[in-house]
Amino acid sequence: MTSTELSAKLKEEGNDLYYRSRYNEARQKFTEAITSDPTNPILYANRAAVHVAQNRYLDAAWDCQKAIDLDPKYSKAWGRLGVAAQGLRDWEFCINSFQEALKYLPVNEARLTLLERKLKDRYIEGIASAQVAQSQRENPAVAMPWDRAKAVECEKMAQENESSAFVILEAYSEFRTGVDILNALRVKVSPLVGAEWGGKLGGIEALCNAIIADERVFHIDEMRWIDMFTNQCAFEEEVLGGWSEKGDPEFAKQKSMARLRNMGWSDTRPAIAVTVRIWVVKAFIKSHFEGHRDVAHGLYTAAIEVLEWGCRQWSQVNRNERGAVFEKSYIRGIKRLKMVNMQKALIEKRTSQLPFTLNDISQLARYIIADVDLNPASAELTGDKFRGIRSAFWTYPKASALSILGWCHACDAMRAEKECPAQSLATYRRAAEFYEKAGSLYPSDDENHAHFLRMALDCLCNANATLGDILPMCKRIRLAIPQALDLWQIPRTENSLVIYLEDVSDFEERQMKDIAQGRVTIKSTARIERAIP
């Protein structure tokens, strides 16, 4: 069998798997086909379709671009590039891609096949929706959370209660700084000296700080963002002498020891810092935008391993000498990101051979909670101007870990429902307690406050709790959601929060009416429709 025949066979197998929604296997088949015939643009476009189905829009964009490089008039590749750009919310690139896709369809309507007619309609609809989205971004009817937080900052600061506004402003300030530094970088490639950089250091540090503080501020709104980030990584690593490229913690440890012996802390500190920060930002991008939970897990683990090793190795070294990345709060923040990524991987179960279990994530959550309790914020972080930092590095990690314990208990309870119903009820009750504690730690104007109280409500119902327990939780959710919507009512979260409010309010009203009419009592049990996961 020739390489062309083999790739054709693999392509057909990949197509069959794709249509049966077996995306991981389909992606593997297309990858094998590309290895056999790397000049076939159809193979890249087909693999891009798999990436789109799994919301891996950056991977899809890269495969589409490769297909277009091989065949610039390949309409379907241009169309899928438009879909990938939609997923990345790069509306200008999306419009241009769909326009190119239309350009390379037959001009004569009579010559269009049924499939081509459908594709044409899809491309036209894609252009129209992207134009609407672009217009809304340029003239936003709804401000983003950081814009709203800025508008109410003084008002919130005057109040004693905590607010998610402080966290989001802290994180967005770092994110904006990082993006500005990325935008300022200039690269000039010379045949004699290679790449010549012109830019500022600190972009990776700012992006990493933003992600650890609150990853919700992180957004990619243009296709060239990844190229900008990649260039900034190369620039900072070259200047500071980091070792992130290998992704190997042992290599980084050896190099840092040698650097310290030869150059001292002034050279070693920034090299270690840029290495682990690049790993953390890359891990987040790999997980959040590309869905590569396994790669992200490896990078988070590598960063934590180097930092914890450094804490032991240099335990007697002054904290300012070692650097901020060795602070307990900083390492804890990376562990929280790792924990969240582990949860997503376990939920998706894309592979049966994950390097961790439900018990592992539960242990990590308990470690984070204990770490927060044993290492409170220092006295120098008291005062209103540090409210965002205290929440981001102490309150929020603990709340996140408590929510993970709630989820772990809910998973255990679900598995025990048939074989051990009594144990299942008790475990659901325990899950509700963890979710309630998590929600209560978040400020009432944070979307997570209402979200985790809603999860607690689900678990209470599954535990056969009485209305005496259920209705007070309903009231808390009903009162909290309008506060959260003041800051968080954007397309990404609007549906879940609004649906929560409608469902809980309707349920509460029905139960109160039934109590008033004597059909049930506060000792009766009740079930509400399960929340959006």
Domains of the chain in start order, with CATH, are 3-138 (1.25.40.10), 385-533 (no CATH)
Those residues whose C-beta lies under 8 Å from the C-beta of residue 336, and which sit 6 or more positions away, are: 212, 368, 396, 397, 400, 401
Q: What pLDDT, on a 0 to 100 scale, did the predictor assign at position 518? A: 94
CA-to-CA dists, residue 395 to 9, 162, 441, 445, angstroms: 54, 10, 7, 14
Residues 278-292: pLDDT tens digits?
999 999 998 887 778
Residues 187-202: pLDDT tens digits?
887 776 667 788 999 9
Q: What pLDDT, on a 0 to 100 scale, did the predictor assign at position 231? A: 92
User: Running DSSP on this structure, what letter comes out for residue 385?
Assistant: G
Two tokens, residue 350: 């894309």
Contact at 8 Å (CB) between 331 and 310?
no
Looking at the predicted structure, is the pLDDT value of residue 226 above 90? Answer: no
Compute the radius of gyration of the chain from its Cα atoms: 26
Residues 106-140: pLDDT tens digits?
877 677 788 888 888 888 888 888 887 776 665 55
Nearest Cα neighbor of 279 from 222, 236, 327 is 236
Residues 313-328: pLDDT tens digits?
999 999 899 999 999 9
CA-to-CA dists, residue 132 to 127, 139, 286, 413, 492, angstroms: 9, 10, 29, 45, 17
Identity of the amino acid at 480 = A
Nearest Cα neighbor of 52 from 79, 28, 33 is 79
Angle at 532 between CA 137 and CA 219, to 5 degrees: 30
Looking at the predicted structure, is the pLDDT value of residue 76 above 90? Answer: yes
Contact at 8 Å (CB) between 232 and 305?
no
Dist CA 141 CA 350 (whole Å): 38
Our CA dihedral for 339, 344, 346, 350, rounded to 10 degrees, sits at -140
Contact at 8 Å (CB) between 27 and 351?
no
Q: What pLDDT, on a 0 to 100 scale, did the predictor assign at position 141? A: 52
Longest dimension (CA), the chain: 88
Dist CA 285 CA 279 (whole Å): 10
CA-to-CA dists, residue 500 to 263, 444, 504, angstroms: 57, 15, 6
Dist CA 154 CA 147 (whole Å): 13
Comparing 83-97, 255-269, 398-412, which segment has the lowest mean pLDDT?
A: 83-97
CA-to-CA dists, residue 208 to 108, 164, 178, 197, angstroms: 52, 19, 9, 21
Two tokens, residue 483: 């506060």
Those residues whose C-beta lies under 8 Å from the C-beta of residue 435, and which sit 6 or more positions away, are: 402, 403, 406, 452, 453, 455, 456, 459
Residues 458-509: pLDDT tens digits?
999 999 999 999 999 999 999 999 999 988 876 544 458 888 999 999 999 9
